[in-house]
A and B are shown apart, each in its own frame.
Chain A
Amino acid sequence: MDVPLYLRPRVEPPLASLLGAAPFLHSLVDALGSPLNVLLLETVAENAARFRAVYRRHRLTGRIYFAHKANRSSALVRRLAAEDPAAVGIDVASLEELRHALGCGFTGDRVMATGPKDAEFLWLAARVGATVNLDSPGELDRLAGLVRGHGLGRVRVLARLSGFESADGKNGAGTRLLSRRSRFGTPVRDADALWAALERHADAVELVGLAYHLDTTGLEEKARALEQCVLLMDACRRRGLAPRAVDIGGGFGVGYVADAGEWQRWTTALSEAVLGGRPPLTWRGHGYGLRNEGGTVRGTMALYPGHRPHAGPGYLDELLSLPAPVLGREPGTLLLEHLHDLHIEPGRSLVDQCGLSLARVLDVRSTGEEPGAHLVRLGMNAGDVSLEEHGVLMDPVLLPRGDARQDDGREGGEGAGAPVGVHLVGNLCLEADLITRRLVFLPRLPRAGDVLAFVNTAGYAMDFHAHQAQRQPSARTVAVEREGDSWRWCPDEDYWPITHPGGTPA
Chain B
Amino acid sequence: MRYDSITDAIGNTPLVRIDPAVHGLRNIDLYAKLEMLNPFGSVKDRPAWHMARPHLEGAAGGEGTVVELSSGNTAKALALLAGLHGLKFKSVTNRMRVPEIKELLLLLGAEIEELPGRSECLDPTDTDDPLTHFHQALTEPGSTYLHTDQYFNPRNVEAHAAGTGPEIVKDLDGRAPDWFVACVGTAGSSTGVARVLREHDPDVRVLGLVADKSDFVPGIRTIDEVHQVGLFDPATYDTIEAVTSGEAIDGMLTLIRRCGLLSGPTGGAAYQGAVRYLRDADEALEGTGRRETAVFIVCDRAESYLSYVRARRPELLGRTARVPALAALTEEDVRADARSVGVEEARRWIAESDPRPLVVDMRSPHAYAALHIEGSVNIVDELFEELVRGGLPFSKRTPVLLACPVGEKSLRHAALLTRMGHPDVRSLAGGIVAWRDAGAPLVRE
The CA of A223 and the CA of B227, in the complex, are separated in Å by 32
Chain B contacts for A215, CB-based, 8 A: 119-121
- A336 to B224 Cα, complex, angstroms: 42
| Set of chain A residues within 8 Å of B223, measured between Cβ atoms | 268, 271
Residue of B nearest to A289 (CB): B127
Question: Which of A216, A231, A299, A327 meets B120, CB within 8 Å?
Answer: A216
Q: Is the CB of B405 within 8 A of A59?
A: yes
Asked if A486 is at the interface of the complex by the 8 Å CB criterion, the answer is no
- Residues from chain B with Cβ under 8 Å of A338 in the complex: 366-367, 370-371
- In the assembled complex, the Cα of A253 lies from the Cα of B121 at a distance in Å of 9
Q: Is the CB of B228 within 8 A of A298?
A: yes
* Closest beta carbon of chain A to B243's beta carbon, Å: 15
With A296-B232, A299-B127 known to touch, is A337 a contact of B432 (CB < 8 Å)?
yes
Of all chain A residues, the one with the shortest Cβ separation from B128 is: A300
Segment of A22-30, A172-180, A191-199, A493-501 engaged in the interface with chain B: A172-180
- Contact pattern, A 264-279, Cβ under 8 Å of B = 1, otherwise 0: 1001100110010100
CB distance from B404 to the nearest CB of A (A): 8
Chain A residues with CB below 8 A from B224, complex form: 267-268, 271, 297
Which residues of the other chain, A, contact B433 by a CB distance below 8 angstroms? 336, 339
> Which 10 pairs between the two chains have the least Cβ-Cβ distance?
A218-B117, A300-B129, A337-B363, A337-B367, A251-B120, A391-B122, A216-B117, A336-B405, A297-B227, A264-B213
- Residue numbers in B under 8 Å from A234 (CB-CB): 366, 369-370
Q: How far apart are the CA atoms of A289 and B122 in the complex, in Å?
A: 12
11 A-B pairs (CB sep. < 8 Å): A180-B119, A216-B120, A217-B117, A237-B370, A251-B120, A268-B213, A300-B131, A302-B123, A336-B433, A338-B367, A339-B432
Q: Which residue of the partner chain A has the closest CB to B404?
A: A337
- The CA-CA distance from A421 to B105 in the complex, in Å, is 49
List of A residues within 8 angstroms of B364 by Cβ: 327-329, 333-334, 337
Binding site for B on A (CB under 8 A): 59, 172-180, 215-221, 230-231, 234, 237-238, 250-251, 253, 260, 264, 267-268, 271-272, 275, 277, 288-289, 294-300, 302-305, 327-329, 333-334, 336-339, 388-391, 460
A272 to B408: give the CA distance in the assembly, Å.
54
CA distance A202 to B433 in the complex (A): 26
- Pick the contact of B116: A59, A180, A329 (CB < 8 A): A180
Instruction: Note all chain A residues with C-beta closer than 8 A to B367.
Output: 334, 337-339
Question: Who on chain A is nearest to B435 by CB?
Answer: A339
Output the nearest chain A residue to B362 by Cβ-Cβ distance: A337
For A336, list chain B residues within 8 Å (CB). Answer: 405-406, 433
- B53 → A minimal CB distance (Å): 25
Partner of B127, one of A230, A302, A327, A390: A302
CB distance from A215 to the nearest CB of B (A): 5
Q: Which residues B129-177 have CB closer than 8 A to chain A?
A: 129-131
B107: nearest chain-A partner, CB-CB: A174
What CA separation (Å) do A303 and B106 show in the bound complex? Answer: 34
In the complex, the answer to whether B122 meets A216 with C-beta atoms within 8 Å is no
On whether the beta carbons of A296 and B117 are closer than 8 Å, the reply is no
Cβ-based interface call for B214 (8 A): yes
Determine if B86 is an interface residue (Cβ-Cβ < 8 Å).
Answer: no
A251 touches B121 (CB 8 A): yes
- Contact between chains at A296 and B127 (CB < 8 Å): no
| Contact of A327 with B106 in the complex, beta carbons under 8 Å | no
Q: Which of B118, B131, B405 contacts A337 (CB 8 A)?
A: B405
Q: Is the CB of B116 within 8 A of A176?
A: no
Choose among B113, B123, B213, B366 the residue with the greatest number of A CB atoms under 10 Å from its CB.
B366
Find out whether the CB atom of B230 lies under 8 angstroms from the CB atom of A299: no
Which A residues touch B370, using CB under 8 A? 234, 237, 338
Which chain B residues in 221-273 approach chain A with CB under 8 Å?
223-224, 227-230, 232-234
Complexed CA–CA distance, A177 and B123 (Å): 22
Closest-CB distance, A155 to chain B (whole angstroms) = 24
User: Chain B residues near A277 (CB, 8 Å)?
Assistant: 234
Which listed residue (A172, A174, A221) contacts B117, Cβ 8 A?
A221
Report A46 CB to chain B, min CB distance, Å. Answer: 22
Q: Given the complex of chains A and B, what is the CA–CA distance between A328 and B116 in angstroms?
A: 21
- Whether A260 pairs with B126 at a CB distance below 8 angstroms is no
Q: Is B412 an interface residue (CB 8 A)?
A: no
Known: A264-B213, A268-B224, A303-B122. 12 other contacts (CB 8 A): A59-B408, A175-B113, A178-B115, A178-B130, A215-B119, A217-B120, A219-B117, A297-B227, A297-B228, A327-B364, A329-B364, A333-B364
A218, A221, A299 — most chain B CB neighbours (10 Å): A218
| Bound: A271/B213 CA distance, A | 13
Tell me if B232 and A389 are in contact (CB < 8 A): no
Report which of A175, A219, A300, A327 forms a contact with B112, defined as CB distance below 8 A: A175
Alpha-carbon distance between A237 and B372 when the two chains are bound, in angstroms: 14
Rounded to whole angstroms, the CA-CA distance of A204 and B367 in the bound complex is 30
**B229 engages A296 (CB within 8 Å):** yes
- The reply to whether A304 and B112 form a contact with Cβ atoms under 8 Å apart is no
B contact residues around A220 at 8 Å (CB): 95, 114, 117
Is the pair B120, A289 in contact by a Cβ cutoff of 8 Å?
no
Nearest CB of A to B70, in Å: 15
* Closest CB in chain B relative to A14 CB, distance in Å: 27
Q: What is the chain B residue whose CB lies nearest that of A336? A: B405
Determine which residue in B230, B367, B408, B436 has the highest number of CB atoms from chain A within 10 A of its CB, and name it. Answer: B367
Whole-angstrom distance from the CB of A386 to the nearest CB of chain B? 11
Chain A residues near B436 (CB-CB < 8 A): 339
Cα distance A215–B367 when bound, in Å?
A: 28
Interchain CB contact under 8 A, A216 and B111: no
Please determine whether A296 and B227 come into contact, CB atoms closer than 8 angstroms: yes
Q: Given the complex of chains A and B, what is the CA–CA distance between A388 and B124 in angstroms?
A: 8
Residue of B nearest to A347 (CB): B121
Q: Is residue B102 contacting chain A, with contact meaning CB distance below 8 A?
A: yes
B362 to chain A minimum Cβ distance, whole angstroms, is 9
**CB of A262, distance to nearest CB on chain B (Å):** 12
Q: Does B290 contact A (CB under 8 A)?
A: no
A residues less than 8 Å from B214 (CB atoms): 260, 264
